[in-house]
Structure 1
Amino acid sequence: MTTTTYVILGLLALRRWSTYELAQQMKRSIRYYWPRAESHLYEEPKKLVALGLATATREDVGRRPRTVYEITEAGRGALTAWLATPGSGPLVEFEGLVKVLFAEQGTKDQLLGTIAAIRADAEAAREHHAELGTDLLVTGGPFPERLHVNSLVLKFMWEQAEAVRRWAEWAEGVVSEWPDTAPRTGDQARRVISTVTSSTVDAPPE
């Protein structure tokens, strides 16, 4: 049982789904904080059935058959037990930032291109989150009774994308002032490091 297995189990606790519907629901928001290959998502429901935590029913939709999965009582018990333990913190997987880390081995233009791509991705994510938020406000989403927990997750998604966007905007300004060969040392770099080491945790916004 992996975290992805429990994600699918949690979705099944809401309603019956086909594997295609589960994949579409993952794309709606979950992929922004738990990205997994779509091929894996098609295997997880089968695992739940093998463990007795879900059932599988074949249905005909038009000319095409599909398998619909539904949670069992044992599955609900397993989900409740999993929720009773704290989850781990975020693990960041960020190829663009890895390229920033070794940017002195390339050119200034390459670095600026990498940062610009990071900013564009963050802005696209913000746009998606804003559209999702609008849908939740207007319609309540597919599960309006869950708006209170969805709002907590949406706030995190927005703040994460906004933090990346702000960083990229700042980094573009800093790198733009560098000579063609990036400085290895300098007062500006020391000031940046100083602001990080001397910063304090602000109170969360109300």
Structure 2
Amino acid sequence: MLGLLAVQPWSTYELTRQMERSLGRVWPRAQSRLYEEPKKLVALGFATAEDEVVGRRPRTVYTITGTGRAALAEWLAEPGEGPVLEFEQLVQLSFADHGTKRDALRTIAAARGWAEQRNAENAAVAQRYAAGEGPFQYRAATTMLAGAFFTEFYAMVARWADWADEQARGWPDDPADAVADPAQLAEIARRAAWGPAEERAEGGR
């Protein structure tokens, strides 16, 4: 919230919409909580609130304070935690041996569909920024970092889904009878070692 207020003053409704459009992909929060957060920032002295009337509708606009900017700078100075993944379809596939092959294939297809849908939205935004017409275009250097992550993430999910579909189609009708391909297990192990291998290579130079 402080980061958004550092960009410009917002009403609660505008803050909520902005969270849905951008930060909600990496920082999901219930909408009810989003409406309460600005009030907490005011109570802490990190923001001020000013009541306005637009047409006949009243609204409250929140603006970051100097204390709020200092708190934001302090938070930015400390590296945050890594990502937390919540992927229901992957959890379902982890127990595919208790369902049917058809169930697993449908779940994999749904995962790919999710990636395609999300990337369609992502691609539209990326094209606007590339054309110099993105929201807050002057901040493109920083928003580009998240945009690149999502581009790679959606492509990764799609590639994984294609691979998973190929594997599952080779299963017998009862997934409980499926046998893992040793070559695929070896390939996964090889690819999983990329980090330590690169670190050793760097250390030997």
Q: TM-score, structure 1 length as denominator?
A: 0.89
- Tell me the equivalent position of 1:173: 166
Q: Give the residue type in structure 1 aligned to 2:187.
A: T
Q: Secondary structure at the match of 2:51?
A: strand
Specify every segment of 5 or more residues in structure 2 that has no aligned partner in the other structure, as ranges: 199-205
Post-superposition shift, 1:191?
Answer: 2.3
Q: Secondary structure at the match of 1:86?
A: coil
| Aligned counterpart for 1:146 among listed residues 139, 149, 156 | 139
- Tell me the equivalent position of 1:191: 183
Q: Are 1:15 and 2:17 counterparts?
A: no
Paired with 2:136 and 2:180, the residues of 1 have a C-alpha distance of 53
Q: Are 1:42 and 2:18 counterparts?
A: no
Post-superposition shift, 1:49?
Answer: 0.5
Cα 1:27–1:139 change in 2 (3 A) is farther
Aligned 8 A contact 2:172 2:178 in 1: no
For these two proteins, the number of residue pairs brought into alignment is 195
- Tell me the equivalent position of 1:65: 58
- Tell me the equivalent position of 2:202: none
Q: Show structure 1 runs of 4+ deviating over 6 A.
A: none
For 1:137-194, what per-residue CA distance to the aligned partner results, in whole angstroms no more than 9, with x for missing partners?
2244231221111111100011111111110111111111211012545351x32221
Aligned 8 A contact 2:99 2:175 in 1: no
C-alpha RMSD of matched pairs (Å): 1.6
Identity rate, percent: 48
Question: Which residues in structure 2 correspond to 1:1-206 (within 5 Å)?
Answer: 8-182=1-175, 184=177, 186=179, 188=181, 190-199=182-191, 200-201=193-194
- Tell me the equivalent position of 1:4: none
Q: Give the residue type in structure 2 aligned to 1:38.
A: Q
Paired with 2:76 and 2:57, the residues of 1 have a C-alpha distance of 36
Aligned 8 A contact 1:11 1:22 in 2: yes
Q: Give the residue type in structure 1 aligned to 2:112.
A: R
For 1:46-74, what per-residue CA distance to the aligned partner results, in whole angstroms no more than 9, with x for missing partners?
11011000011111011110111000000
Paired with 1:167 and 1:192, the residues of 2 have a C-alpha distance of 13
Aligned 8 A contact 1:53 1:71 in 2: yes
Paired with 1:191 and 1:185, the residues of 2 have a C-alpha distance of 15
Paired with 2:132 and 2:32, the residues of 1 have a C-alpha distance of 30
Specify every segment of 5 or more residues in structure 1 that has no aligned partner in the other structure, as ranges: 1-7
Q: Give the residue type in structure 2 aligned to 1:198.
A: R
Q: Give the residue type in structure 2 aligned to 1:41.
A: L
Q: Which has the higher helix share?
A: 2
Paired with 1:170 and 1:119, the residues of 2 have a C-alpha distance of 11
Post-superposition shift, 1:135?
Answer: 1.6
Aligned 8 A contact 2:98 2:176 in 1: no
Q: Secondary structure at the match of 2:84?
A: coil
